[in-house]
């Protein structure tokens, strides 16, 4: 019986390459440590676990605000982790939100280091962050033939999606 269970786990590990959206830090860490998927889906949850940043090959929907608040967004972190990010959002919070200033400063830091977002293929972004993002990404228009994200969704200041 144990052998059968082990074979099933091996088959599951072999077949799973992207884990499904999990809701709690403990379940995400448990899943990742047991199955080691290539991609981790943070689901916009703002918790920190360095293993979850460093071990996967791809990172989706990560919120870097808490990492920023804890001082983890160092040059080394940015150079090693940003190339793994495939999907991200740079959306402003309501000005009354407790994390508003941290979110704003984190977004400014990210938009100054876009050259490391080499795997980014999906970006949701506020209009006010979009211009900074594109300016840095294209080195103020000098690099015109870069691989931009395939999907860019831009929101205006009144939170309406621009078409």
What does the domain layout of the chain look like in residue ranges? Answer: 2-155
Give me the pLDDT at residue 24, please: 74
pLDDT, averaged across the chain: 79
Cα dist. 151→1, 32, 122, 144 in Å? 47, 27, 5, 17
Cα dist. 81→19, 62, 139 in Å? 19, 11, 21
pLDDT at position 163 over 60 = no
Give me the pLDDT at residue 74, please: 93
pLDDT at position 4 over 50 = no
Q: What is the pLDDT of residues 144-156, one digit of tens each?
A: 667 789 999 998 7
Give me the pLDDT at residue 1, please: 36
pLDDT at position 133 over 80 = yes
Which segment of 19-28, 104-113, 131-140 scores lowest on mean pLDDT? 19-28
* Euclidean distance between CA atoms 122 and 59, whole angstroms: 12
pTM of the shown model: 0.77
Q: What is the pLDDT of residues 23-60, one digit of tens each?
A: 677 887 788 888 888 888 877 666 777 888 888 899 99
* Euclidean distance between CA atoms 101 and 93, whole angstroms: 9
pLDDT-above-90 percentage for the chain: 29
103-132: average pLDDT: 92
* Euclidean distance between CA atoms 79 and 108, whole angstroms: 16
Read out DSSP for 14-41?
A: HH-SBPPP--SHHHHHHHHHHH--SEEE
Query: Per this entry, what is the length of the chain?
Result: 163
Give me the pLDDT at residue 100, please: 82
Give me the pLDDT at residue 76, please: 96
pLDDT at position 2 over 60 = no
Give me the pLDDT at residue 6, please: 53
């Amino acid at each position: 019986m144990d052998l059968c269970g082990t074979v099933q786990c091996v088959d599951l590990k072999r077949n799973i390459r992207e884990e499904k959206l999990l809701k709690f830090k403990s379940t995400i860490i448990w899943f990742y440590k047991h199955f080691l998927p290539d991609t981790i889906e943070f689901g916009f949850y703002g918790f920190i676990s360095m293993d979850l940043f460093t071990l996967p090959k791809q990172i989706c929907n990560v919120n870097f605000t808490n990492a920023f608040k804890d001082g983890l967004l160092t040059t080394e972190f940015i150079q090693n982790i940003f190339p793994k990010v495939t999907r991200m959002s740079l959306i402003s919070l309501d000005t009354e939100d407790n994390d508003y200033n941290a979110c704003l400063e984190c977004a400014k830091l990210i938009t100054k280091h876009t050259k490391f977002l080499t795997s980014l293929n999906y970006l949701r972004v506020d209009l006010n962050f979009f211009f900074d993002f594109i300016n840095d990404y294209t080195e103020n228009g000098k690099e015109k033939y870069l691989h931009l994200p395939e999907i860019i969704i831009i929101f205006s200041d009144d939170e309406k999606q621009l078409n």
